[in-house]
């Protein structure tokens, strides 16, 4: 058992999953910053504000994920080069088209929600309420954002 009473092997598995999640959040955060900085067009004012709200939320989650890794007894990765190697979310290459940006956000959320659901199951099995609660909160918040961004695109 580790210092917080979680089986060491299960804590390692959770930490590895959180490291992957952290890498993907870092790329997603950087993409959204680019969307915020470079948005152009008719919906500039609306999307500029929404993208800022989103990246401010993402930076908080990035810190929470890193601190959860530390709580489990491991060290979070901090090198951007390692994030790029580990992440499945790709760096955005076009950041001026609001519709494309929102589509990128939706696909990133779909990926993150899936990853977080897997961690939710692992944390439940490990009796890790801290990680479980974090993932549950993230999923609930992001499902609502998926609905809202989808509504913006006039999609169900």
CA 151 to each of CA 36, 99, 108: distance values in angstroms, whole numbers, following the listed order: 19, 12, 16
Give the three-class secondary structure for 68.
Answer: helix
Region 109-124: mean pLDDT is: 98
By the 10 Å C-beta count (0-12 exposed, 13-18 middle, 19+ buried), 7 is classed as middle
Token pair, residue 114, equals 């899936």
CA-CA distance, 94 to 38, in Å (whole number)? Answer: 9
Helices 129-152 and 44-71 pack at an angle, to 10 degrees, of 170
What is the architecture of the domain spanning 8-152?
Answer: Up-down Bundle (1.20)
Average pLDDT, stretch 122-143?
Answer: 98
Confidence of residue 149 (pLDDT cuts 50, 70, 90): very high
Tell me the C-alpha distance between 124 and 127, whole Å: 5
Give pLDDT, residue 23.
98
Domains of the chain by residue range: 8-152
Mean pLDDT, residues 54-81: 98
What pLDDT is recorded for position 85? 97
**Quick one: pLDDT at residue 1?**
94
Q: How is 2-61 classified by DSSP, letter by letter?
A: -TTS--HHHHHHHHHHHHHHHHHHHHHHHHHHHHHHH-BSTTHHHHHHHHHHHHHHHHHH
The pTM assigned to this predicted structure is: 0.96
- Residues 6 or more apart whose Cβ sits within 8 Å of residue 121: none
């Amino acid at each position: 058992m580790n210092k917080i009473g979680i089986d060491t092997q299960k804590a390692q598995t959770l930490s590895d999953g959180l490291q992957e999640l952290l890498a993907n959040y870092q790329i997603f955060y950087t993409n959204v910053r680019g969307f915020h900085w470079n948005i152009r067009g008719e919906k500039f004012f609306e999307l500029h504000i929404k993208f800022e709200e989103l990246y401010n939320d993402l930076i908080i989650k990035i810190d929470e994920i890193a601190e959860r890794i530390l709580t489990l007894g491991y060290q979070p990765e901090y090198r951007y080069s390692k994030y790029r190697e580990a992440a499945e979310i790709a760096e955005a290459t076009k950041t001026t088209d609001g519709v494309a940006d929102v589509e990128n956000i939706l696909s990133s959320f779909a990926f993150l929600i899936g990853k977080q659901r897997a961690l939710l199951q692992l944390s439940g099995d490990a009796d890790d309420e801290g990680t479980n609660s974090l993932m549950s909160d993230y999923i609930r918040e992001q499902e609502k954002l998926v609905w809202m961004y989808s509504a913006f695109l006039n999609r169900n």
